[in-house]
Structure 1
Amino acid sequence: MSEVQELLNTALTHHHAGQLDQAEAVYQQLLEQDPRHWEPRYYLGTLQLQRGQLDLSIQSFLKVIQLNPELPDAHNNLGVAYHAMGKWQEAGQSFEHALRLNPHYERAYYNLGSLFESRGLLDEAAKCFRKSYENSGSPETYEKLADLLKVARRFAEAEVIYRELLEQTPGDFNRSMKLAYVLVLQRHYPEAVELYEAMLETHPGHYQILVSLSYVLECMGDIPAAIQTAERSIEAASDQPEGYNNLGNALRLAHRFDESCVNFEKALELQPQFPIAEFNLATTRMLTGDLQAGWEGYERRSDIDSSSRTSYPGPAWQGEPLEGKSICLWCEQGFGDTLMFIRFASELKRRGAGRVLVLIQPELAGLLKSIEEIDELLVPGNPVVECDYQCSLLSVPRFLETSLKTIPGEVPLFQPAADRTAHWGDVLSALEGKKVGLNWSGNLQFPRDEFRSIPLEQLSPLLDVAGVQFVSVQQVNGLDQLASFEAAGKLWQPGPEYQAEVGDFTEAAALMQNLDLMITTDTACAHLAGGLGIPVWILVSRLPEWRWLLDRGDSPWYPTARLFRQAELGEWGPVVEDVKAALEQKFSQDAPDFQ
């Protein structure tokens, strides 16, 4: 063995043993003897990369590539250094060069996937992790792929991988928890419960399992089991906040609101920065009618759902006088929230704001351009307009200290286009009887959607009311339930111009304007009808959204609304019977025309 090779072996021995100073000294000695010897320079670059000496590492690898341009490892490691420096383009080019030299280089695929992941390019990252796994067979890489698919909301694909991995490592705790989680995200609740309960047999009293199980039981509406399991999680770890938060949610579902708030407060004592507990406490207070006590905690919504962290440049408005000032209100959350809160844009104008702009979802722009108090509507992608202040639309009532008594309740809040309203008036005039709109399904991804959406089959008794022609106002979701009812002539579905498949609020509003009554579940449709000021009956769950409050048949948000409430969670039959009886009374020949 040559002296050079012996020295290199000595350096590598030091390097592998973590003796980096000694290894570096030998690498430098070799390079002093022969600056063109690429191997010690390559290992020196790797050592520098380990130490975080990124500039030195990049210089070393670039020199190695000059000396030996066909070495895939040098390009790969150069890419790692560039990635750590935040030089995305250079990193990607280095990994791709390594893969051109070695198309089966699994580590380069993995590193390129990590680069894509860090930039939010999840589909591209998934392709790279899959190629890395195909070339390595590494279970860890396969699990990484599943984890990424979960983040990308490709839950079914992640589920398949977690199941395959568990076949190789039955009972693995972390992988079992991950599988259960993606089952929950797909709302496969019974199977998730079965998996958690099986895990409790081998991990009795395990806090994290109990916390997760109590959450799922609450999602299923199994109130006694959710309460009991949350209490068990607190017994297992009384110093952890999640159990108290879950118990608060379960007690709220049972309408035990004071106890619910006590548990949310306990969670916050243990962890003051616990956004979901603060949000839950706030909305529970709002649900019971104390809006002013809830607005501050309601601000934590953006800490729970990062996708709502839209903002607008400029100083944040916090209630300062707006006379002669301009303000841009930006919309977040769902369509229903925007339709409900848009009144506060008009309110600011009425209170003296010089100029009110609203950055709004494109789907609502056509409808809400009718609001006179809004000086300019913007949609994402429009040029930024400089304003004195900016604020989330949903935060305005906080700074106005809005209470139940001071909600701006005048309707209509907006008007559909006159020509489209006239068009649908002509179309509906051809139908006999009173025209009653029907909406039964909301966004299927909405949390607890199973508590608010109602299968059309369960609403079928309404369709037998004499003298009434039901009109489907449904768009996007729930259309697959229409066929049999439409064929029987019991439910009229508008034609293609209504754009039911893709959704169009402008068309929906114009059609609704010609109805005698709108019946809907708690979806954006309820806010659309209420904002138009037409008679609307809203079917709400035993535990409704905070905005519908408790134990009242009206709404301070919408004076034309009438609420029909569940007495038992998940039991829509009695609600439908109440609505049917009210329909028969409303449209009987001698009945007064009331809401």
Structure 2
Amino acid sequence: MLGVLLHQQEDDLGALDLLKTAIRINPANPVGYLDIGNVFKSLRNLEMALASYDAAIALRPDYAAAFNNRGNTLLDMRRIEDAIDSYARAIAISPGFLEPRNGLARAWKDLGNLDLALSEYDHIIEIRPDLAQAHYDRANTLQSLGRNDEAITAYDRAISIQPALAEAYNNRGNAFLTLGRIDAAIASYDRAIEYKPDYAEAYNNRGSALLRAGRVTEAIATFQQAIRYRPELADLHVNHGNALHAARRFDDAVAAFDQAIALNPDSAISYAGHGNALIALQQWDAAIISFDYALAIDPGFAEVHAARGNAFMAQKKLDDAISCFRTAIEHKPDFAQAHNNLGNALLERKELDAALASYDHAIALRPDIAEAHANRGNVLLKRKRLQEAVAAYDEAIARKADFAEAYNNRGLAQLERGNIDGAITSYDQALAIRPGYTEVQINRGNAMLECLRLDEAIASYDLAASTPSQYFEEANYNKALVLLLQGNYQDGLPLFEWRWKNKMYSPRVLRFTQPIWFGGEPLQGKAIYLHNEQGLGDLIQFSRYIKLVKGLGATVYLETPPPLLGLLKDLDGVDRFVAAGDPVPDFDFQCSVLTLPLAFGTTVDKVPPPTKLQIDPCTKERWASRLGPSTRKRIGLVWSGSTAHTNDRNRSIPLSQLLPYLPQDHDYICLQKELRDADKDTLQQSAKQIAFFGDEIADFGDTAALCDLMDIIVSVDTSVAHLAATLGKPTWILLPYRPDWRWLLHTADSIWYPTVQLYRQGPERAWPSILSEIHDDLSSLQWTTCQKALGITPYPTFRGNAP
């Protein structure tokens, strides 16, 4: 008896001596062997404990307690099948004995057979319905089975029997949290803490629930309480770090993860959190080191491979990023986010088809990832599959109603499709979610510009420029385009210089260190390098200023694209032509030809006349011979420009749309060097003869000669239109509803070219109405020709233009 008392007082060695003595005195006493087995088990000498219980059973084969304790020992030894057998023997001897049933339930759990474990708890409750622990254990088993609603009912039953059972409140909170009932979970954790104020695990779980609820500040405080009671638990510091990360307190998060690592250097999850916080601090290399430590501990940690890929992505190390994402997918093929991130890297590398496949894979795995749908839309937008892009953004928004980026990008796709009202609505929705979204303000301004709601466009650009951001320069540049379109050159031309901060243009000027000439510095005795920056038409249009520059006493060098060299070789005012890409001579100032209107104080009432271009007589004679004689009007046609032009979708016309509006009895000559595939097919199948010379047109010298042989040039807004107008040929230019700034608004003529007539789309943004005007005006040419042949003076005609 004394030995048992010592064992109860945790003096196991003293108890062992006394119990051995008792057995020597009475070796036939099974209780003595049971007691000494219990002491051996407490001392973790499981083999001796098992031998002692076997001795007790040998003396008393119906000794249920010995079988039960033997089962407990076998369970500790992980001999689970033997433990089950021992528990079953105890139950067979004493069916009302609850301990072996409880042990048997634990054994079934260890084997992963939760249903049989649940059955044992049901037996226990049937015998003792008022046993709170049995209801609690049953609830835990139900929760493990994913039957959370039933588990909550079982926890409630345990609590009704034993109201102070803090663990039941805690685990019930976990069940509520799994079901997404966050408020109920927090309330349950609060009750657990009420009954057990130092319950660190309950504080930890409460913090997790608060974090899920977005109550980040409260979550941080709760994790700090958990740490106060169990500072040695590394996982608490990890969760604290995650909450600090969510609060964007990234330096504090790093410190929290450092603490977790100090407590448990073998925790891959601690290094993972550490790396993620360092990514937030943009310390990419340090983050990768943390991820490498995590992977040294757990090489198959897919999330860490993906996070490591994110760090490489941020550094534009795309090959390394792609390798990381693919490794993450190898370890976890159903890792939807890794497929999405792989798509991002492939998109960045312009592998659009592969990127689209990655996004599709991510969506197939997890249709609820809004970002994957939005990213898929981005690829489709780049592919000009605009209707599909809009649908993809709709899918993203359906899954994330506050997804401002998806609304913005949907607006871009809608605008490119011509759905301007839809685009404006999308931009407004994005701004309602994020009022300071500068990029959207600019895009909204662009949409307003497209529909000529110019005051609203300016208001959007002003809002974008009111806050310092990477879009400040773009906002000012876009505002300049509106002002110039309105004819406000005084305010528009200075703002137009912001284009040099635009990544599309800046490399073309930043390659020089010499100062830009804005018209203020004297040029007498100085050398100035003039260069083009955008299309060939710009150089032709603004070449009119070169003679003025020369008149200020400068030596003028003109950088000239090869297609224009032959045409411009006799241009008045140029001392030396420099072919693009050739060595540049020394100079004092540089200036783009598009800056010259600002330098010379150009206004709509003060525009220099076009320069005089010299056409090579031999070239003109060769083309005249190539065209042959004709008694009919020759009409030069240009219906499309470069597909690379940012507004090509609005300015170019399919040949199939133009053909029906070309009256007979004229000779039509295509002045384009290149045709799109669809136009080639149309031209071959057309009954109307349009002469096309293709590669016979070597450069703009050939184009100029052809233009000079035409009676009228009908052109969309391309460099050929500028060439024809500069040559003084009657040039009819077809303009989209929102024209380029140089054509102003509401006029049928041009301040830049006296021989130009402008045909403007109306608000319907369609070509048929102005193509009908072209048809009528070309037809009137036929009538005028007949009148002249008969000596009849025609009545004057007047034509209007849609505003």
CA drift of 1:550 comes to 0.4
1:191 counterpart residue number: 388
1:487 positional shift: 5.1
Tell me if 1:390 matches 2:580.
no
Counterpart of 2:539 (choices 334, 338, 346) is 338
Residue 266 of structure 1: how far off its partner (Å): 1.8
Residues 411 and 533 of structure 1 are in contact (CA less than 8 Å); yes or no, is this contact kept in structure 2? no
The 8 Å contact of residues 322 and 346 in structure 2, kept in 1 or not, is answered as no
CA distance in 2, matches of 1:406, 1:225: 40
Q: State yes or no: 1:415 paired with 2:610.
A: no
Q: Give the structure with higher Rg (CA).
A: 2
Which whole-Å deviations, capped at 9, do the CAs of 1:471-490 have from their partners, x for residues lacking one? 11122243541344355452
Counterpart CA distance in 2 for 1:169 and 1:260 is 39
Change (3 A) 1:132 1:242: closer
Counterpart of 1:275 (choices 446, 470, 473) is 473
- Provide the rounded CA distance (Å) in 2 between the counterparts of 1:275 and 1:294: 14
SS at match of 1:372: coil
Which of 403, 409, 424 is the equivalent residue of 1:206? 403
Q: Aligned to 1:376, which of 570, 576, 583?
A: 576
Q: Does 1:445 align with 2:445?
A: no
Q: 1:572: which partner in 2?
A: 767
In the alignment, the residues of structure 2 paired with residue 507 and residue 156 of structure 1 have an alpha-carbon distance, to the nearest angstrom, of 41
Please report how far the alpha carbon of residue 577 of structure 1 lies from its aligned counterpart in structure 2 after TM superposition: 0.5
SS at match of 1:328: strand
The C-alpha deviation readout for 1:450-496, integer Å capped at 9, x for no partner, is 11111111111233x23201111122243541344355452333445
Q: CA deviation at 1:230?
A: 2.3
Deviations for 1:164-185, whole angstroms, at most 9, x for unmatched residues? Answer: 4443443433333322122222
Distance 1:504 1:483, change over 3 A: farther
Q: Structure 1 258/497 Cα, relative in aligned 2: closer, same or farther at 3 Å? A: closer
1:404-460 deviation line (CA, Å, top 9, x unaligned): 122222343x23332211111122234552110111111112223111111111111
- The answer for the alignment partner of 2:234 in structure 1 is none
- Aligned residue among 296, 321, 324 for 2:522: 321
Instruction: Deviation per CA, 1:310-352: give whole Å up to 9, x if none.
Output: 1334233232121221100121122222222222223312x32
Find the aligned partners of 2:525 and 2:761 in 1 and give their Cα distance. 48
Counterpart secondary structure, 1:299: helix
**Alpha-carbon distance between aligned partners in 1 of 2:354 and 2:717, rounded to the nearest angstrom:** 31
Quote the RMSD (CA, aligned, Å). Answer: 3.7
Give the one of 729, 744, 750 matched to 1:534: 729
CA contact (8 A) 1:440 1:453 kept: yes
Question: Residues 427, 296 of structure 1: CA spacing in aligned structure 2 closer, same or farther, 3 A cutoff?
Answer: same
Alignment correspondent of 1:296? 494
2:438 to 227, 241, 244: 241
Residue of structure 1 in register with 2:269 after alignment: none
Counterpart check, 1:556 vs 2:718: no
- CA distance in structure 1 between the partners assigned to 2:498 and 2:614 by the alignment: 32
Deviates more, 1:585-594 or 1:402-411: 585-594
Alignment length (residue pairs):
489
Give TM-score scaled by structure 2 length: 0.55
Q: Does the 8 A contact of 1:261 with 1:284 survive in 2?
A: yes
Letter in 2 for 1:322: L
> Is 1:436 aligned to 2:665, yes or no?
no
User: For residues 152-231 of structure 1, what are the structure 2 equivalents within 5 Å?
Assistant: 153=350, 155-231=352-428
Whether contact under 8 Å (2:370, 2:399) holds in the other structure is no
Q: For structure 1, which runs of at least 5 residues remain unmatched after alignment?
A: 1-16, 23-48, 53-72, 74-105, 119-124
Q: Distance in 1 between matches of 2:328 and 2:402?
A: 38
CA 1:393–1:249 in 2, change beyond 3 Å: closer, same or farther? Answer: same
Quickly say closer, same or farther: Cα 1:228–1:129, change in 2 above 3 A. closer
Q: Structure 1 residues 116, 205: CA separation in 2 closer, same or farther (over 3 Å shift)? A: closer
Q: After TM superposition, give the deviation of residue 523 of structure 1 in Å.
A: 1.7
Structure 1 residue aligned with 2:484, among 286, 296, 300? Answer: 286
Partner Cα distance (1:515, 1:218) in 2: 37
Q: Does 1:400 align with 2:600?
A: yes
- Separation of aligned partners in 1, 2:604 and 2:442: 27
* 585 and 549 in structure 1: CA distance in 2 versus 1, 3 angstrom threshold: same
Q: How far off its partner does 1:146 sit?
A: 4.9
Residue 417 to residue 200, structure 1, CA distance change in 2 (3 Å): same
Is the CA contact (8 Å cut-off) linking 2:483 and 2:492 kept in structure 1?
yes
Q: Quick one: structure 1 residues 484 and 397, their matched pair in 2 at CA, closer, same or farther if it must change by over 3 Å?
A: closer
Does the Cα contact within 8 Å between 2:529 and 2:589 map onto a contact in 1?
Answer: yes
Aligned-partner Cα distance in 1 for 2:343–2:544? 44
Q: Provide closer, same or farther for how the CA distance between residues 132 and 348 of structure 1 changes in structure 2, counting only shifts above 3 A.
A: same
CA shift digits 1:479-533 (9 cap, x unpaired): 541344355452333445524xxx7323222211211111111122212222222
Once the two structures are overlaid, the 10-residue window that deviates more, 281-290 or 260-269, is: 260-269
TM-aligned CA deviation for residue 573 of structure 1: 0.6
1:326–1:220: structure 2 CA closer, same or farther, 3 Å change rule?
Answer: same
SS of residue paired to 1:298: helix
Query: Which is bigger in relative contact order (C-alpha 8 A, separation at least 6)?
Result: 1
CA distance in 1, matches of 2:339, 2:614: 53
Does structure 2 conserve the Cα–Cα contact (< 8 Å) formed by 1:345 and 1:373?
yes
Instruction: Tell me the TM-score normalized by structure 1.
Output: 0.73
- Closer/same/farther in 2, CA of residues 50 and 554 from structure 1, 3 Å limit: closer
AA of the residue aligned to 2:536: F
Q: 1:403 to 1:50 in 2, by over 3 A?
A: closer
Distance 1:144 1:506 in 2: 51
Distance 2:746 2:345 in 1: 44
Question: Taking structure 1 as reference, are residues 325 and 228 closer, same or farther at Cα in structure 2, changes over 3 Å only?
Answer: same
Query: Which segment is superposed worse, 517-526 or 307-316?
Result: 307-316
Post-superposition offset of 1:258: 1.7
Name the aligned partner's letter for residue 238 of structure 1: P
- 8 Å contact from structure 1 (residues 363, 505) kept in 2: yes
Evaluate the alpha carbon distance shift between residue 197 and residue 144 of structure 1 in structure 2; reply closer, same or farther with a 3 A threshold.
closer
CA distance in 1, matches of 2:286, 2:443: 44
- In terms of fraction of residues, the more helix-rich structure is 2
Give the corresponding residue for 1:264: 461
CA distance in structure 1 between the partners assigned to 2:674 and 2:632 by the alignment: 27
Unaligned runs of 5+ in 2: 1-256, 263-283, 293-304, 789-793
User: Which letter maps to 2:457?
Assistant: S
> 2-side partners of 1:452 and 1:304: how far apart?
23
Query: Which structure 2 residues correspond to residues 76-115 of structure 1 after superposition, within 5 A?
Result: none
Distance 1:234 1:408 in 2: 44
1:402 aligned counterpart, secondary structure: coil
Percent of aligned positions that are identical = 27
SS at match of 2:411: helix
Q: Which residue of 2 aligns with 1:475?
A: 673
Q: Distance in 1 between matches of 2:704 and 2:342?
A: 44
Q: CA deviation at 1:194?
A: 1.0
Q: What corresponds to 1:250 in structure 2?
A: 447
| Cα-to-partner distance string for 1:224-251 (whole Å, 9 max, x where unaligned) | 2222222222222223223332332222
Deviations 1:73-129 (A, max 9, x none): 9xxxxxxxxxxxxxxxxxxxxxxxxxxxxxxxx99xx99x999977xxxxxx77x88
The amino acid that maps onto 1:405 is D
